[in-house]
């Protein structure tokens, strides 16, 4: 699973990783969070629409979880059951970065809601693409969505929240500097993926990202 601040290159690196795995003969399902299902895409549109300025942080968090619950049921769990590797552009790590602290939300609150939504199938590996938000947001070359429009101080805190996750769980997180040529970033992503090679995934389970329980 790949995650990080707005404009850090998640979609590009997700596509490169998917293509590299397919070229290596791996069956892959690539998804984006929120989205990838009909219901999930409708929730995504609500979440990112700048018109919805009155949305509370708790409602925001629960909408993200609802989209994940649908994606898990409709796409991810069937793919894992079929032995596929799932590559996800964002996941619960995003909520632990973007919604943590808002409206009093604690890490325990978010993880509790996530356990219900994703059925405790947490990522085997989370790759965080790290980049200062002033530089990553400058890459967004379209009208900014509801989240992207928040103040720079907010996005700086989001980055710190991502970094804190990586520091707290170095076995399951990899922090990769994203402000470099995409080929260099991709090389580091592929290096990080080696931890999921036979022997890296001790139980031999299909991977998601999301297979291992926290």
% of the chain residues with pLDDT over 70: 92
| Segment 53-73, tens digit of pLDDT | 999 999 999 999 999 999 999
pTM: 0.91
Convert the pLDDT of each residue in 143-161 to its tens digit: 999 999 999 999 999 999 9
End-to-end CA distance of the chain: 15
Q: How much is the pLDDT for 202? A: 37
Higher pLDDT, 212 or 109: 109
182 close to 2: Cβ distance less than 8 angstroms: no
**What domains sit in the chain, N to C, each tagged with a CATH number?**
2-212 (3.40.50.300)
């Amino acid at each position: 699973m790949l995650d990080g601040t707005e404009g850090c290159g998640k979609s590009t690196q997700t596509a490169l990783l998917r293509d590299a795995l397919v070229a290596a003969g791996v069956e892959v399902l690539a998804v984006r969070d929120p989205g990838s299902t009909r219901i999930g895409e409708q929730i995504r549109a609500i979440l990112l629409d700048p018109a919805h300025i009155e949305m509370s942080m708790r409602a925001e968090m629960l909408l993200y979880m609802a989209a994940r619950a649908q994606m898990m049921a409709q796409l991810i769990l069937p793919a894992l059951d079929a032995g596929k590797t799932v590559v996800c552009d964002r996941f619960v790590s995003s909520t632990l970065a973007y919604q943590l602290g808002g409206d009093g939300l604690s890490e325990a609150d978010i993880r509790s809601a996530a356990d219900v939504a994703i059925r405790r199938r947490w990522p085997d590996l989370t790759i965080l693409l790290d980049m200062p938000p002033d530089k990553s947001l400058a890459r967004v070359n379209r009208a900014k969505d509801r989240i992207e429009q928040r103040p720079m101080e907010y996005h700086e805190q989001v980055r710190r929240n991502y970094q804190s996750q990586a520091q707290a769980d170095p076995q399951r997180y990899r922090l990769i500097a994203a402000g470099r040529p995409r080929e260099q970033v991709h090389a580091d992503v592929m290096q990080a993926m080696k931890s999921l090679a036979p022997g890296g995934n001790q139980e031999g389970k299909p991977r998601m990202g999301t297979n291992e329980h926290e």
